[in-house]
Amino acid sequence: MPITLPKLPYPMNALEPSISAHTLQEHHGRHHKTYVEKTNALLADTGMADWPLEEIVKATRNGGAKTALYNNAAQAWNHDFYWKSLLPRGGGMPKGKLADAIAAAFGDLDKFAAAFKDSAVNHFGSGWTWLVLDHGKLMIVSTKDADTPIAFDQTPLITLDTWEHAYYLDYQHRRDAYVTAFLDKLANWEFAQQNFERATDRKAAAE
């Protein structure tokens, strides 16, 4: 089956005023859609046309002749994960086991939020900022362009798109305001908690 464009998990206007319906229409309906279409076109004659998207990303991460396929497949995967990282009336601080783990890793939740914002605001050029588990260790990482943690054996918990098309219509050059809106009003910590619990359960089962 070809890779398909997933539906947004909320209405187009559900993230307003932090992210406008206009931005989502352009971002999901044009940018994400284009990555999906290019991925499907580039899969022809690769033997990977019926593979899960995540496996396509991992198989093409070393670039070479498949760099274009990696870039488009990774961007398709990243965007799907990003939509799930956003929640109407979200934001604030995580709770439960994830909150405890973040506090242990970063000192406290406020220090984590400051470090995440610093990484996202100061990331040079286009890319993504993530909270990941790297072999059991919580880390904030920024990836450039299409790069994604799943290509480097890291487990993403939540992400923020820092490409200009994610925020320019609403914030122009004020990436810091966009990042603040994400942390204060949009971050889907329930999604991050689910990813954290699945990852820690798999690790415990493996041990």
pLDDT in 10s for each residue of the chain, 207 residues: 689 999 999 999 999 999 999 999 999 999 999 999 999 999 998 999 999 999 999 999 987 779 999 999 999 999 999 999 999 999 999 999 999 999 999 999 999 999 999 999 999 999 999 999 998 999 999 999 999 999 999 999 999 999 999 999 999 999 999 999 999 999 999 999 999 999 987 766 666
| C-alpha–C-alpha distance, residues 157 and 99, integer Å | 12
Looking at the chain, which residues constitute the CATH 3.55.40.20 domain(s)? Answer: 96-206
Neighbours of 202 (CB within 10 A): 11
Residue intervals of the chain classified under CATH 1.10.287.990 are 21-85
Q: Record the tokens describing residue 206, joined without a space.
A: 């493996």
The rounded distance, in Å, linking the Cα atoms of 193 and 88 is: 17
Q: Read off the pTM.
A: 0.95
pLDDT at 202: 76
Taken as a whole, the chain contains a residue count of 207
Nearest to 92 by CA among 187, 202, 167: 187
Residues 124-169: tens digit of each pLDDT: 999 999 999 998 999 999 999 999 999 999 999 999 999 999 999 9
- Per CATH, is 21-85 categorized as 1.10.3720.10? no
Contact yes or no for 157/196 (Cβ under 8 A): yes
CA distance 142 to 157: 13
Token pair 């580039």: residue: 42
Looking at domain 96-206, its CATH class is: alpha beta
At 101 the pLDDT is 97
pLDDT of residue 45: 87
**pLDDT on residue 1:** 63
